[in-house]
Chain A
């Protein structure tokens, strides 16, 4: 597919144009078709959006897992990043999220990295100079569909991808979330 650099440098226009950016649709009500001005519109829930994001990451991995627990329980665990990240990522000993959306991760050897974090309901993406990680979740009946992705930003680190961010590693991490959430009862 080739890029088109032709006409139409403007943003979307037309009678039904939305205004302003929007985040993922409500994770507790999965995406579907809506209606604006009589014309149908489609939205994407956080898991669909994570599929898109993961598709655009170089040297990335992606996985999904259904968890037999309600969305609120799953997300309240995951969104508490200071606790969930060290639980889930073996080589991170401490994770401290600040109010400005940045976080400092401390590794097992005391090494530190600064992350930018985008955390919303059902959506979390974190990156530093070297790696990207993300979770998304959406209610699936009484259960929750959880998605995870990981990628390496630095070409020199990409040989470590299968170990740190391969699909199996992502699924293993999602499995830890399931174990924790289902083990915590409710």
Chain B
């Protein structure tokens, strides 16, 4: 089953990772290439949005993907797709979480080290008590594996702000975890 007649126009497109190879055709309005792009991006966006928007994760993922598809024509370099999508998804997830005003920011102390097994258990209950901004920095660090500088770029805050936010988020996480 093909995804349209014009999907392989870039050298090496067939070997490009994941969704990148469908970008050019999707930008030209090839709906089947857009479908493939959606198949590839949905799990990624769902993984980014759910830890931030929690129960509103599907709404946040839907709104993030709508923003991605409505603005896909502005993406000049397909290789930058995932970084671009990540920024949109995190921003939309924070916006949805704030809009719903589901959570109150928590007091903040310390958290398990990245990759610690205890972090993977019942994370959701603890996330539930953090603010969307704290959930976002934790997700970028723990799920995406970004360093503080890269996380700061995604969140469009200074490195210092990201560092202090992460520190407070970890502290809050630890406090919630041990309470």
Contacts and interface: CB of A to CB of B under 8 A. Distances in A.
Q: Which of B67, B76, B83, B119 has the most CB of A within 10 A?
A: B83
Mostly, the B contact residues are helix
B54 A40 contact: yes
A32 B58 contact: yes
A100 B2 CA distance: 9
Given A56-B26, A116-B4, 8 more contacts: A4-B84, A6-B80, A10-B82, A11-B20, A33-B54, A41-B47, A42-B61, A55-B69
A1 B74 contact: yes
Nearest to B121: A38
Contact of A53 (B2, B34, B54, B122): B34
Contact of B58 (A17, A42, A100): A42
Contacts, number: 192
Interface of B: 1-5, 17-20, 26, 29-32, 34-36, 38-40, 42-47, 49-51, 53-55, 57-58, 60-62, 65-67, 69-72, 74-77, 79-80, 82-84, 86-88, 115, 119-124, 127, 139, 142-145, 150, 153
Contacts of A41: 43, 46-47, 50, 57
Nearest to B144: A14
A118 to B, nearest CB: 5
Mostly, the A contact residues are loop
A3 B71 contact: yes
A183 interface: no
B87 to A, nearest CB: 6
A18 B32 contact: no
Interface in A132-179: 132, 134, 151, 153
A117 B36 CA distance: 12
Nearest to B44: A12
B74 A51 contact: no
B84 A39 contact: no
Q: Which of A13, A41, A134, A151 has the most CB of B within 10 A?
A: A41
A169 B38 CA distance: 25
A15 B32 CA distance: 30
Contacts of B19: 11
**In the A-B complex, the 10 residue pairs with the closest CB atoms:** A101-B1, A56-B69, A42-B57, A8-B83, A38-B120, A42-B46, A9-B79, A40-B50, A3-B74, A42-B50
Given A42-B61, A55-B70, A33 B144 contact: no
B145 A14 contact: yes
A12 B18 CA distance: 9
B149 to A, nearest CB: 10
Given A4-B83, A127-B31, A11 B18 contact: yes
A153 B67 CA distance: 20
A38 B35 contact: no
Contacts of B1: 100-102, 116-118
B137 to A, nearest CB: 14
A35 B71 contact: no
30 contacts: A3-B75, A3-B80, A5-B76, A5-B77, A7-B153, A8-B82, A9-B79, A9-B82, A11-B18, A12-B18, A12-B144, A15-B143, A17-B47, A23-B39, A33-B57, A38-B123, A39-B143, A48-B62, A52-B38, A53-B31, A56-B26, A56-B69, A101-B2, A116-B3, A118-B1, A118-B32, A125-B35, A127-B32, A129-B5, A151-B31
